[in-house]
Amino acid sequence: MTSSERKPALQIQNVTKTFGRKTAVDNVSFELYPGEVFGFLGPNGAGKTTIIKMIMGFFRPDEGTIIINGYNRKTHYEAAMSSIGGIVENPEMYNTLSARLNLKMYARLHKGVTPERINEVLELVGLSERADDPVKKYSLGMKQRIGLAQAMLHHPNVLILDEPTNGLDPAGIHQLRDILKKLAHEEGVAVMVSSHLLSEMQLMCDRIGIINHGKLLQICSIDDLMHRAQTSSAYRIKTSDPAKAKEILSEAYKNRISNVGSDTLDIEIDETQINECVRTLVSGGSDILGVQKIESSLEDVFLEITGGGIQIE
Ligand SMILES: Nc1ncnc2c1ncn2[C@@H]1O[C@H](COP(=O)(O)OP(=O)(O)OP(=O)(O)O)[C@@H](O)[C@H]1O
Ligand SMILES: [Mg+2]
C-alpha cells in the first residue's frame, strides 16, 4: 500500500508557533502514517521539540491544525489524545519505587490498563528481569526504556519521541531502534522520532522530514536518499596535465568538471558515459594515468538537498 492509500494517523496542517518575536515553527505541514517510523531531522534550535510539544498538548499552535486519528485536537481533545503516547522531556519517575510500581501508578491516568499490559510493555522494552528493582539502580538507558514503556501503556497507535537516543550507548541505541521498528512494522504503530543525526535516522526511519529555522524543508524516504547516493556518481581522472584535460572536456561536459588538482580532476558522469569521456581525452592528446569512481555518500546527497546549509554529524 502506498501512503496515499492509507489514512494518516497524524496530520499537521500549516502549524505556526512564535515565542515573542521568534518564529520557532513556521507553517509546517506533514502527515504520519501507521506502520512507519518518521524521523524529524534538524540541528539544535530547528523547532523539533516545539512541534512535538504542540502535538503532545504542552502548548497550542498560534495557527494551524493538528489532527490525531481523524480528531481535531482543538475541538475533540480527549478523543484525539486517547491514542497518542510520547516522551517529551525526561519522564518523571519515583526513584525509590520499582519500574513495575512506577508503571502501575502511571497506569491510573488511563482507563483499563491491566497488570498483564504492564508485563507486556516491560517485556517489549526488555526490562522484565529488572522490573522489580528500584529505579534509582537503573542506568540512563534503562530509565529511558521505562519512559517508552510508560508511553506505550495505553496501546497508543501514535508514538512521538523527542530525541529518544540521547545519552544512550551504541548497544542501547541498537535496542531502541529494534523496538521502534518492531512497533511500527509489526504492530502498525505510527512512530515519530526527532534527532539531529542523519546516520541515526538512516538506520531507524522509513521517511525523514528535514527541518531548519522552523521550516520543514523537505520530506523524503530513506530508500530514495540511499538510491540517490548509490546512483549519483562521479569519476576522478588522473592525468599529468589536468588543466589541458579540462580544456578538452569543457565543451561536452561544461558544468560537470570540478576539483582540478595537480594531477587529477573530477567529472560528474555515470558509468555509461565514462568510455566516451576517456576517448575524448585520449583523442584530444591527454594521457590517462588512472580512472577511479567516486562514491557519493548519503551525507553528500543530504547536503545537496538542503543546499549545504545544515550541518550534520
Ligand atoms: N518556551 C520557549 N520560549 C521561548 N523560546 C523558545 C521556547 N521554546 C523554544 N524556543 C525557541 O524556539 C526555537 C526552537 O526550539 P526547539 O526547542 O523546538 O528546537 P529543537 O529543534 O528541539 O532543538 P534541539 O535539537 O536543541 O533540541 C529555538 O530558537 C528556541 O530558542
Ligand atoms: Mg529539542
pLDDT confidence of residue 270: 85
pLDDT confidence of residue 312: 53
Question: How many angstroms does the Cα of residue 6 sit away from the middle of ligand 1?
Answer: 32
Beta carbons of 186 and 16 less than 8 angstroms apart: no
Question: How many angstroms does the Cα of residue 45 sit away from the middle of ligand 2?
Answer: 7
Closest CA to 305 of 252, 243, 226, 247: 226
Residue ranges in the chain whose pLDDT is less than 70: 1-5, 89-91, 306-313
**C-alpha distances out from residue 74 to 29, 59, 222, 254, 296, Å:** 16, 11, 33, 55, 45
The residue whose CA is least distant from atom 27 of ligand 1 is 44
pLDDT confidence of residue 92: 76
- Ligand 1 atom having least distance to the Cα of 53: 18
Class of domain 3-83+156-228: alpha beta
The residue whose CA is least distant from atom 2 of ligand 1 is 19
| Domain formed by 233-295, architecture | 2-Layer Sandwich (3.30)
The residue whose CA is least distant from atom 6 of ligand 1 is 19
CATH 3.30.70.100 maps onto the chain at 233-295
Question: How many angstroms does the Cα of residue 87 sit away from the middle of ligand 2?
Answer: 12
- Ligand 1 atom having least distance to the Cα of 46: 21
Closest CA to 80 of 95, 90, 67, 91: 67
Beta carbons of 240 and 302 less than 8 angstroms apart: no
For residues 247 and 269, give the distance between their C-alpha atoms in angstroms, rounded to a whole number: 17
pTM: 0.81
For residues 241 and 150, give the distance between their C-alpha atoms in angstroms, rounded to a whole number: 65
Residues with CB under 6 A from ligand 1: 19, 22, 24, 42, 44-50, 196
- Ligand 1 atom having least distance to the Cα of 17: 12
pLDDT confidence of residue 265: 95
Pocket test for ligand 1, best of 49, 53, 162, 192 (most atoms within 8 A of CB): 49
pLDDT confidence of residue 169: 85
The residue whose CA is least distant from atom 12 of ligand 1 is 24
**C-alpha distances out from residue 285 to 1, 276, 281, Å:** 55, 14, 6
Question: How many angstroms does the Cα of residue 150 sit away from the middle of ligand 2?
Answer: 20
CATH 3.40.50.300 maps onto the chain at 3-83+156-228
pLDDT confidence of residue 171: 85
pLDDT confidence of residue 241: 96
